[in-house]
A and B are shown apart, each in its own frame.
Chain A
């Protein structure tokens, strides 16, 4: 086995070793037990007193969602306002211009929903002020929103029958002060020591070996990059994200960032086990997710390290693998691991161009985002997975001859209806909007828009189709990475992806929380020998089958026309 392969396996193992205690710690934080970070409590008390919040006030699922949606709406207006007028605020040493309203709409939503689709380049599209007070701020609170909602879901199963999902505000604040902030500081310090800038100075001018002078953008980047990874945000300080040498200077930082991408999503799965004292269930969920995650990583590593067959045919050796769009300091295998990690977790940061992945790897990362529940975004990944569980519980309950139940609550028509709608939603958003874009390209390529549909795609044919598919899949999954090669900063893409972002974020949160609210309210049924255990390997296989079948059935034609067609034409 090559060193590269050993390295990526080690990265994954280190993540698991760190995630287990972190999961335990997260569970303690939200159970209100004593932890090492109790020194933060004066700050939390101050925030609660200042905002007039009683952190112990119980909330029903409707109140919980109302609190979440209200504060998110507020942040949207705040962020959009600052972006449109960013040129009038301080901390703009490079004199960057304001964002257009449609771009500001897209950017504000994109960061609010933890997606971080960037239709601009960080160096020129934002100021240090908006990078800090819009982008970094939203990166913290959107991740915290996800964690808070997940804890709400846990609470629905903590008591036998309850109306109380806990206090949203409390969980939101604790997520920031106890989890995101401390971890970000650690990661940021590692990055700074490896060369990531953290200064308020403007562009630097350097002279290259060739004697040219080059303008190098910088800024207070390290902290933002830390939370971008830890909070599964993914939006980079610089345009090319973690492929940029200042954002991801060396193999060590690459490893640290990869671990940061996976750490909290995996830890949250373990925390479910600790919080609800159902470790077997947590292990089952982790197992199901990992089977696909490892499979995807293996596929991508295989194809990326093998190189491009078109180059093989030219008789050129590709010892390092397919290096188009990859960084030499990182290498093909680590880029392959990252490509799966970032799409699994709805992170969306990249350390190489996904547009340049070989066709099957490109298909895998799209598929990964279509599933969007393999570890998933902080908090929301498990919420998405919960929808698959509900469908699996329902089908397997019928198959063993019992009205389906999960964690002691009967799953009936209303819950199935919500789960079915959420499943339907992704298919509708991804395929519906891709179809709209494809229709415009096929039938109205010359329509008089600022950027004509005919000029959207950098690549013709299958790959162009993949670019459009990727964009909407990424938006729906709140992933935020792009296949790039797509002219996306114009009204059509800013507005359509904006719509997909909002719907793709909030409905998949509202759905599971509503299901949990309804379930928690029902009579508790203690386990009996006839109960189908949901923490068994058998049920895990069932869930896996549901994930694969539902996703395959919804998306196979689209994948066939994009990545598969490209693969079969190339290989």
Chain B
């Protein structure tokens, strides 16, 4: 899977250093204000600082020892720093991931075209709308659109896929990406993005926080957390008169500690890190999300529109049959076919040679055989033997054009075979020898191994899959059955996708789709989650809300899981954070009233050593749980497609019940340790 390509260790030293530095910079109240929970902790820290300073200057003793208050202050400060660190680390990872992608395209020489003349400039000097030329061997300096020419391009720098792709002007495959390499031909490219405004730049800005906007679910959760914080403000403020009534003096440190322990600092501290990490994970999967909302929405998707080719079937068809015509002996035809494909490196070509071998035919090229590679113009390939004969294979229309040009005719049985193969969902390849049709090779779609399991998994997630194909309904139905897809649109025209999306949306469904062509753009814009392939046109990339650098159509499935993971991580950590409070109450409340209401010691079920150690243990636990949970926040809680109720049961058990039990153990252990000193 592509996500393993750029794996950054969780605590890479370089990133940790940056994050440490950032966690102090982020103490700035204006920055903290965005996060009400941690902002409250910062205020509490400031109060403790004031208490300590006041005590140091006046020697006042009623608020407890100076060392104790200083300790409380330090722990609170560390709590805030831990939260900042989590956020900063997530940011640093996102940036690192984006940088490693960006590096590929920095400072390459460019051949700028001005008034028909080519100037050599640096890629950074290219502006929006400039034209540049790329020839075989050149690295493309900037994202752009081909306005003239056709070329094969190696995109492995971006996608990791070694097979070269064809890009040409005017069609749906006119987009080129900076950092990729031209392997053949010459193209003229127009720069489509201003420097610093590529999708990657936009994504980096999102990760860095400058333009990061909270997603709707994040806003709702922040409101809920703010409400919990306010409840605990009320709890702590009212505790003062309650304590007065009970004639119990309570120190400021105790109030502040109680407050900080109770407010949901764990989730408050990790919330933005979780959001950023979601986008990091998308980036790790080579998907550039244009907003955090897009990733989140992906988790809610009900319907997934998938193109057949490349998603459900292996994009490359495989040879399954040889059909000789005009009395050609089968063995001879197979040999001819194999010979024509010996030099053909495409998966189709290889599959022909393989099938020939299976049938016991070994084709050996004579010495001096010249290979004729596939070109975009001839759309056929083959060999010229030393004996002067030429063998060609290609699509029916390509070969028949060639034959007609040489004055020959295409035999009727060959045309019939071609039609029959097409009707069964296969692709016919016609083989000619010296401009005479000798037979037809049948290529068939091969359903991707493991795709059925993936659709099963999606069905369990509650996502309906729809296959979109240009095939006739019969073929489509056949493939749909084999692959286990829920529904299909056959003989699909671009507007059919749009129509289907609208229909599903009218029923309240969220629809995701993937597309690359200009005619996909409206549907990409209409879909709730539109993933454009990086190889697609600029229009398609603008219309979608994500861009997939790998051009991998199955990526949608990963994106859906990333979206779900994002929500689950927030939900479970919120539950964990709130459940923690139960234990903290049992630690602090008896400690507060130990002197005036000894009977309440019955609530000290953890048998903490002293009021001071109880309070310190509670706030230390509260602080260290944040870094302990950073790996979980950054990696995300794993999504399991086991049905909503079962998943809730599981997460409620692990994070709800766990959230109640863990702090009891944690606080007790810390108390044993703290008790040695206090």
Which residues of A come within 8 Å of B, CB atoms? 391, 394-403, 408, 411-413, 416-417, 420-421, 423-424, 427-428, 431-432, 434-436, 438-439, 441-443, 461-462, 465, 523-526, 528-533, 536, 538-539, 541-542, 545, 549, 552-554, 556-558, 560-561, 564-565, 568-569
Q: Which residues of A contact B235 (CB under 8 A)?
A: 427, 431, 553-554, 557
Contact B227 A424, beta carbon cutoff 8 Å: yes
Cα distance A401–B238 in the bound complex, in angstroms: 37
Shortest Cβ distance from A413 into B: residue:
B220
Shortest Cβ distance from A468 into B: residue:
B245
Interface residues of B in 591-605 (CB under 8 A from A): 593, 597, 599-603
Pick the most buried of B245, B302, B566, B582: most chain A CB atoms within 10 A of its CB. Answer: B245
- Whole-angstrom distance between the Cβ of B599 and the nearest chain A Cβ: 4
- With beta carbons under 8 angstroms apart, the residue of A424, A441, A530, A568 that contacts B644 is A530
Q: Which residues of A contact B507 (CB under 8 A)?
A: 526
Contact A533 B589, beta carbon cutoff 8 Å: no
Contact A435 B227, beta carbon cutoff 8 Å: no
Contact B585 A553, beta carbon cutoff 8 Å: yes
Contact B239 A560, beta carbon cutoff 8 Å: no
Contact A413 B579, beta carbon cutoff 8 Å: no
Which residues of B come within 8 Å of A, CB atoms? 216-217, 219-221, 223-224, 226-228, 230-232, 234-235, 237-242, 244-247, 262, 296, 299-300, 302, 459-464, 507-509, 563-568, 570-572, 574-575, 578-579, 581-582, 585, 589, 593, 597, 599-603, 639, 643-649, 651-652, 655-656
Cα distance A524–B227 in the bound complex, in angstroms: 28
Q: Which residues of A contact B238 (CB under 8 A)?
A: 431-432, 434-435, 558
- With beta carbons under 8 angstroms apart, the residue of B228, B296, B603, B648 that contacts A399 is B648
Chain A contact surface mostly: helix
Chain B contact surface mostly: helix
Contact A391 B224, beta carbon cutoff 8 Å: yes
Q: Which residues of B contact A539 (CB under 8 A)?
A: 645, 648
Instruction: Indicate whether A442 sits within 8 Å of B563 (C-beta atoms), given known contacts A399-B575, A565-B599.
Output: no
Contact B227 A564, beta carbon cutoff 8 Å: no
Q: Which residues of A contact B227 (CB under 8 A)?
A: 420-421, 423-424
Shortest Cβ distance from B570 into A: residue:
A398
Contact A424 B230, beta carbon cutoff 8 Å: yes
Contact A396 B648, beta carbon cutoff 8 Å: yes
Contact A553 B581, beta carbon cutoff 8 Å: yes
Contact A545 B241, beta carbon cutoff 8 Å: no
Contact B568 A398, beta carbon cutoff 8 Å: yes
Contact B597 A413, beta carbon cutoff 8 Å: no
- With beta carbons under 8 angstroms apart, the residue of B220, B234, B460 that contacts A427 is B234
Cα distance A461–B651 in the bound complex, in angstroms: 43
Cα distance A417–B223 in the bound complex, in angstroms: 6
- Whole-angstrom distance between the Cβ of B266 and the nearest chain A Cβ: 14
- Whole-angstrom distance between the Cβ of B584 and the nearest chain A Cβ: 10
Instruction: Indicate whether A564 sits within 8 Å of B600 (C-beta atoms), given known contacts A523-B508, A530-B461, A542-B652.
Output: yes
Contact B245 A442, beta carbon cutoff 8 Å: yes
Instruction: Indicate whether A560 sits within 8 Å of B578 (C-beta atoms), given known contacts A423-B231, A435-B241, A532-B644.
Output: no
Cα distance A64–B565 in the bound complex, in angstroms: 40
Apart from A399-B572, A412-B217, A553-B262: 9 A-B pairs, beta carbons within 8 A? A394-B220, A397-B567, A416-B224, A423-B227, A424-B234, A525-B509, A545-B652, A545-B656, A553-B232
Cα distance A528–B504 in the bound complex, in angstroms: 13
Instruction: Indicate whether A558 sits within 8 Å of B242 (C-beta atoms), given known contacts A399-B647, A528-B462, A568-B600.
Output: yes
Cα distance A442–B220 in the bound complex, in angstroms: 40
Contact B300 A529, beta carbon cutoff 8 Å: no
- Whole-angstrom distance between the Cβ of A479 and the nearest chain B Cβ: 20
- Whole-angstrom distance between the Cβ of A129 and the nearest chain B Cβ: 42
Q: Which residues of A contact B247 (CB under 8 A)?
A: 442
Instruction: Indicate whether A554 sits within 8 Å of B220 (C-beta atoms), given known contacts A435-B238, A435-B241, A524-B508.
Output: no
Contact B639 A401, beta carbon cutoff 8 Å: yes
Q: Which residues of A contact B568 (CB under 8 A)?
A: 398-401
- Whole-angstrom distance between the Cβ of B248 and the nearest chain A Cβ: 9
Q: Which residues of B contact A439 (CB under 8 A)?
A: 241, 244-245
- Whole-angstrom distance between the Cβ of B319 and the nearest chain A Cβ: 39
Shortest Cβ distance from A391 into B: residue:
B224
Q: Which residues of B contact A568 (CB under 8 A)?
A: 599-603
- Whole-angstrom distance between the Cβ of B150 and the nearest chain A Cβ: 44
Q: Which residues of B contact A538 (CB under 8 A)?
A: 645-646, 648-649, 652
- Whole-angstrom distance between the Cβ of B255 and the nearest chain A Cβ: 11
The 4 closest A-B pairs by CB, nearest first: A530-B462, A398-B571, A401-B564, A420-B227
